[in-house]
Amino acid sequence: MAYTDILYEKVNGMAIITINRPQVYNAFRPKTVRELIDAFRDAWDDNKIGVVVLTGTGDKAFCVGGDQKDRGDDGYSEESGLTNGIGLEVETLHSAIRNIPKPVIAAVNGYAIGGGHVLHVVCDLTIASDQARFGQVGPKVGSYDAGFGSAYLARVIGEKKAREIWFLCEQYGAEEAKEMGLVNKVVPHEKLIEETKIWCEKILDKSPTALKMLKYSFNADSAHIEGITQLSMGSLVMYYSSEEALEGRNAFIEKRPVNFRKYRR
Ligand code: S0N
């Protein structure tokens, strides 16, 4: 597959996948998600690869979720040609990140927001630049991820904090994210890739089979969330075509305050 939306390189046992849409803060469209799945598949199949890094181009953003400018009135299906779901294969991407039998490290270089935040949550480890910002925005823009994005997040940082993140839609700095247990390490911005590679080297020194079995055993305890994700995406496609959800998308695109209060009647 020829990539336009991501960069993909393999160096000394590491596969580095970079979301490359800086003009929209590395938001993803259907093609981006397909390319990410393809790259994870390639890293999965390549026995020389022992660890995968997911990051974003530039200083501003890791990924800010679905591209709101590409979102139609009933999801993203026009562009993707998909007949099911919201038109973005995010559930397949989440499964690829979770099930690839090698550790995946998110190197968060800026905003990790919305669906972009969920991507780092499902990675095995997260190393954050001190400039990184974390948060969910679904209830502000007429969307939600009620699978790994919420149920698994609650396992990582606890129910109260996970509910706060989704219900208030605020942003959190890197140090605060570390205190919550949302990231493993915070490093000065300019050291992010260097430190991530040091972690990769440490992982590459370890037994690949032991790492694979440990990853599978960690996953087993939360595997049922995949079913919740499928239900979530199935309901999201219906929600996306509602006037209420479109108010969220339109307010963001039109750069105006959102008015969800009119739907509380
Ligand atoms: C990222 C934010 C906080 C940055 O704010 P800041 O610094 O004030 O910059 P802006 O001027 O707002 O943005 C800079 C430029 O980037 C564009 N842009 C930003 N985000 C997006 C986006 N998601 N899609 C398209 N363009 C984006 C801005 O428009 C601006 O460009 P110009 O100047 O040309 O207008 C802030 O921008 C922000 O909050 N963005 C919204 C993020 C967002 O809505 N993400 C989608 C969130 N969705 C969910 O959370 C739903 C659940 C979910 O994760 C999911 C699950 C399954 C499938 C899809 C999704 C999904 O993500 O939709």
Q: What is the 3-state secondary structure (H, E, C) of 171-198?
A: CEEHHHHHHHCCCCEEECHHHHHHHHHH
At 89-111, the pLDDT tens digits run 999 999 999 999 999 999 999 99
The whole-number average pLDDT for the span 216-238 is 94
The Cα–Cα gap between 8 and 123 comes to 17
- In the predicted structure, residue 83 carries a pLDDT above the cut 80: no
Output the six-digit token pair for 58. 């530039």
Above 70 in pLDDT, residue 24?
Answer: yes
Among 19, 32, 37, 64, the mutation site with the greatest number of ligand 1 atoms within 8 A of its Cβ is 64
Ligand 1: centre distance to CA 113 (Å): 7
Would the pLDDT of 71 be above 90? no
Pick from 77, 97, 113 the residue to mutate for probing ligand 1's pocket: most ligand atoms within 8 Å of its CB. 113
Cα–Cα distance list, 131 to 96, 100, 200 (Å): 28, 29, 22
Residue at token pair 């954050």: 128
- Provide mean pLDDT across the span 113-137: 98
**Residue 135 binned pLDDT confidence (cut-offs 50, 70, 90):** very high
Nearest to 143 by CA among 231, 20, 239, 58: 239
- Note whether 168 and 148 are within 8 A (CB): no
Among 5, 68, 119, which residue has the most ligand 1 atoms within 8 Å of its CB, making it the best to mutate?
68
Q: Tell whether the model's pLDDT for residue 248 goes beyond 90.
A: yes
- Nearest ligand 1 atom to alpha carbon 115: 54
pTM: 0.95
Residues 20-25 have a mean pLDDT of 97
How high does pLDDT run on average in the chain?
94
Would the CA dihedral through 210, 213, 124, 159 be positive or negative?
Answer: negative
What distance in angstroms lies between residue 138's CA and the mean position of ligand 1's atoms?
Answer: 10
Report the atom number in ligand 1 closest to the C-alpha of 69.
25
Return the H-helix or E-strand segment holding 33. helix 30-45
pLDDT of 77 higher than 90: no
Higher pLDDT, 233 or 18: 18
Asked if residue 235 has pLDDT above 60, the reply is: yes
Higher pLDDT, 85 or 216: 216
Q: What pLDDT score was predicted for residue 84?
A: 58
pLDDT of residue 52: 99
Measured in Å, residue 177 CA sits from the centre of ligand 1 at 20
Work out whether the CA dihedral 162, 165, 168, 169 comes out positive or negative.
negative
| Closest C-alpha to ligand 1, atom 24 | 67
pLDDT classification of 76: cutoffs 50, 70, 90: confident
Phi first, then psi, for residue 4 (nearest 5°) are -115, -25
Q: What is the percent of the chain where pLDDT is above 90?
A: 89
Probe target for ligand 1 pocket from 82, 143, 144, with the most ligand atoms within 8 Å of CB? 143
Cβ 194 vs Cβ 201: under 8 Å: no
> Which long-range CB contacts under 8 A does 198-202 form with residues at least 24 apart?
199/105, 199/125, 199/127, 200/13, 200/14, 200/50, 200/51, 200/53, 200/105
What local confidence, expressed as pLDDT, does residue 74 receive? 67
- Ligand 1 binding pocket (C-beta < 6 A) is 24-25, 27, 64-69, 86, 88, 90, 111, 113-115, 118, 136-138, 141, 143-145, 149, 252
Handedness of CA 58, 101, 43, 233 (dihedral sign): negative
**Residue 113 to residue 116: CA distance in whole angstroms:** 5
Residues 38-65, mean pLDDT to the nearest whole number: 98
Kindly give the distance from the C-alpha atom of residue 48 to the centroid of ligand 1, in angstroms, as a whole number. 36
Confidence of residue 260 (pLDDT cuts 50, 70, 90): very high
**Which residue CA neighbors atom 39 of ligand 1 most closely?**
137
Average of pLDDT values for 157-168? 98
How do strand 6-11 and strand 14-19 relate by DSSP bridges?
A: antiparallel
